[in-house]
Amino acid sequence: MDMVKVTLKDGSVKEFPRGTTVYDVAHSISGRLAKEAIVGSVDGKTVDLSYAIQNDCELSLFKFDDDEGNHAYRHTSSHILAQAVKRLFPDTKLAIGPAIDNGFYYDFDTEHKFVPEDLEKIEKEMQKIIKEDLTLERFELPRDEAIKYMAEKNEDYKVELIRDLPEDAIISFYKQGEFVDLCAGCHVQSTKDVKSFKLLSLAGAYWRGDEKNKMLQRIYGTSFPKASLLEAYITMLEEAKKRDHRKLGKELKLFALMEEGPGFPFMLPNGMVLKNELLKYWREVHEAADYVEVETPIILNRKLWETSGHWFHYKENMYSLTIDEEDYAIKPMNCPGGMLVYKTDLRSYKDLPMRVGEIGRVHRHELSGALHGLMRVRAFTQDDAHIFMLPEQIKDEIIGVVNLIDEVYKKFGFSYHIELSTRPEKSMGSDEDWKHAEESLQSALEELGVEYKLNPGDGAFYGPKIDFHLRDSLGRTWQCGTIQLDMQLPQRFELTYIGRDGEKHQPIVIHRVAFGSVERFMGILIEEFAGKFPTWLSPVQVKILTIADRHTDYADEVAKKLKKRGLRVEVDHRAEKIGFKIREAQLEKNPYMLIVGDNEVEEGKVAVRSRDIGEIGRLQLDEFSDKIIEEIGERALSSIFKKNEE
């Protein structure tokens, strides 16, 4: 019998008859693995479990917990969704239906206007399709036949996608029952393998993300191999709704979104306190790390953006205008201005590394459908920094930046993971430069002893990068911090320094952010803390509540003393019952309430109540203010008081 050797992930080698499927290999290892495996990888290429192995190879098997398995599981879920929609609304045309983080979606073109009630009908049809146990079968056609095949099915969007592929391309499809979709794969073996799913929401989406194209209807969903996992995810979504920064931003009067400026948030007084506290902390951290701060203009001329390459490669995302008959643009990023700052003086190798920070306002054109509270806006503040350095300084500077970003994220209680992205297919620069840059980043991460995920080919066109993905209290991840190594802008802007040899050399540049977008980071914090900010970030740190009108003078005196010590204080003088005032202060999420009545006035004390731990007890004002100032000074995440401390 003709045999092939299969090398498994653990290094063991097994022999199988040629043509053995990936599923059969999994089953030979264990029945449980065969049950849980979703897709495999043959010599690095992800394949279906039905894939027949023809040659000696290295084989990996992926479950739902793996990215490859997760993607295939949810990609199949999107096909089941599309099949259900086609059954219920036969005239519907299919656009695209990918797996995404935490779920999937499908875009449809149909005369029927989907409403939330339709989701329940579609779910019932999806359940039928799953029970039908339809096998997912892959088949391929030459490009011309594929176009004809989809045209006969009246699937105009699929025809357009196929026409964009090379003429010699072999086009793959997946069939399940009567349903066929253009698809590269991969998928589970049968519709019955999708155990638990839920359709979540409806949205509009332009075809191919272009607002000049037709608006399609998008249905979002999610799926899991166990009902318990789906229930946990739905619970998390419900909690996320309560924490939605747009809802809390309005309730807590942090920011406003107005039709006069879509995508341009209005920061209200409470929001400015939060933003300024973040920037105050940012400046302290960077001053301690020997950064200097600059500010560059928001509007700069076309010549600058041509030099940087943005005018040719990023213009559709930029706002441009004409001044004195000359083209200008509002900056979408701070980097080119930072290059000009470097050029204001003659630099020596002794001046490097030169660490330059900028809290810069940037503007980028985003499609209206993509706008989302503070998370996706058209104007935001970037906590940029550029480090100009010698080639031999790269590793040490990367270590310094990683440590700085680690310090910042830990201050807010975030955990995170790191991803290293290397040279993409389309890039600028020599092989030697890229090799040195990538090895420097990798060496820095390994010296720090941090775990990281490698993303081959996912770097920027001008250099490799390190990305930091925050994990919040709901388990969601957010890409915020980034470190990008750049060998191209220094060349484009002809940056130089005088080396030890007296000759001119070109510096290397690191672009890096910690918060990323300050506004977006605020949105993340609002949701992370559910609006219950630690005292140092809270717009109002102490709310003084009077029991009766006769306590007003004492309350004002207490407020004056606390404000003198730098605390943010408000007094509620209203003629309302104290229980009502306490409830309102709780809704406002103020960290501390001081209740003053006859006893407090008589003893010269304050009754302290914590938002998070309840009644603390009656304290001397100095005792209270000393403790809260200590808590703020430490930038603590929780109260340093203990309950019922008298």
Which tokens in the block code for residue 388? 């100009």
Q: How far, in whole angstroms, is CA 643 from its chain's centroid?
A: 37
User: In the structure, how many helices (H) and strands (E) does the chain have?
Assistant: 20, 33
Tell me which of 107, 181, 384, 433 is the catalytic residue.
Answer: 384
pLDDT of residue 437: 85
Q: Where are the alpha helices (DSSP H) in 289-328?
A: 302-308, 310-313
Residue 125 one-letter amino acid: E
pLDDT of residue 645: 45
Q: Are 255 and 267 in contact (CB under 8 A)?
A: yes
pLDDT of residue 250: 96
Is omega for the bond preceding 353 within 30 degrees of 0, making it cis?
yes
| Residue 71 is among the residues annotated as catalytic for this protein | no
Q: Any idea how long the chain is?
A: 646
Residue 367 has pLDDT above 90, yes or no: no
Task: Give which of 113, 329, 75, 55 is closest to 191, Cα–Cα.
Answer: 75
| Residue 364 is among the residues annotated as catalytic for this protein | yes
Write phi, then psi, for 610 (nearest 5 degrees). Answer: -95, 140
- 190-249: per-residue pLDDT in tens? 999 999 999 999 999 999 888 889 999 999 999 999 999 999 999 988 998 899 999 999
| Residue 511 is among the residues annotated as catalytic for this protein | yes
pLDDT cut 90: percent of the chain above it: 84
Residue 100 has pLDDT above 90, yes or no: yes
| Residue 176 is among the residues annotated as catalytic for this protein | no
Residue 581 has pLDDT above 50, yes or no: yes
Q: Locate tokens 């949701």: which residue?
A: 527
- 284-298: per-residue pLDDT in tens? 999 999 999 999 999
What does each C-alpha distance from 391 to 352, 394, 488, 505 come to in angstroms? 10, 6, 14, 10
pLDDT of residue 476: 80
pLDDT of residue 168: 87
Rounded mean pLDDT of 516-532? Answer: 95
Residue 425 has pLDDT above 70, yes or no: yes
Range scoring the smallest mean pLDDT among 151-160, 384-393, 427-436, 577-586: 427-436
- 167-197: per-residue pLDDT in tens? 888 899 999 999 999 999 899 999 999 999 9
In our burial notation (b when 16+ CB lie closer than 10 A, e otherwise), range 21-53 reads bbbbbbbeeeeeebebbbbbbbeeebbbbbbeb
- Residue 1's pLDDT band, with cuts at 50, 70 and 90, is low
Rounded mean pLDDT of 342-371? Answer: 94
Q: How far, in whole angstroms, is CA 181 from its chain's centroid?
A: 30
**120 Cβ partners below 8 Å, 6+ apart?**
none
Rounded mean pLDDT of 387-406? Answer: 94
- 371-384: per-residue pLDDT in tens? 899 999 999 999 99
What does each C-alpha distance from 13 to 4, 35, 589 come to in angstroms? 10, 22, 60
Which tokens in the block code for residue 193? 């393998």
What is the distance between the alpha carbons of residues 101 and 301, in angstroms, rounded to a whole number?
A: 39
Question: Which secondary structure element, helix H or strand E, spans residue 67, and what is its range?
Answer: helix 67-88
Tell me which of 465, 543, 581, 605 is the catalytic residue.
Answer: 465
Mean model confidence pLDDT for the chain:
93
266-267 and 255-256 strand pairing: antiparallel
pLDDT of residue 458: 87
What is the distance between the alpha carbons of residues 152 and 183, in angstroms, rounded to a whole number?
A: 17
Rounded mean pLDDT of 499-525? Answer: 95
Tell me which of 83, 189, 217, 382 is the catalytic residue.
Answer: 382
Rounded mean pLDDT of 472-476? Answer: 79
Task: Give which of 59, 103, 102, 97 is closest to 81, Cα–Cα.
Answer: 97
Residue 107 has pLDDT above 50, yes or no: yes
Rounded mean pLDDT of 135-142? Answer: 95
| Residue 465 is among the residues annotated as catalytic for this protein | yes
Tell me which of 74, 75, 364, 512 is the catalytic residue.
Answer: 364
Q: Are 594 and 607 in contact (CB under 8 A)?
A: yes
Tell me which of 79, 378, 386, 520 is the catalytic residue.
Answer: 386
Tell me which of 335, 488, 551, 568 is the catalytic residue.
Answer: 335
pLDDT of residue 432: 85
Q: Are 342 and 489 in contact (CB under 8 A)?
A: no
Exposed/middle/buried for 423, CB within 10 Å: 0-12, 13-18, 19+?
buried
Q: Where are the alpha helices (DSSP H) in 252-367?
A: 269-288, 302-308, 310-313, 335-342
Which tokens in the block code for residue 210? 């272009």
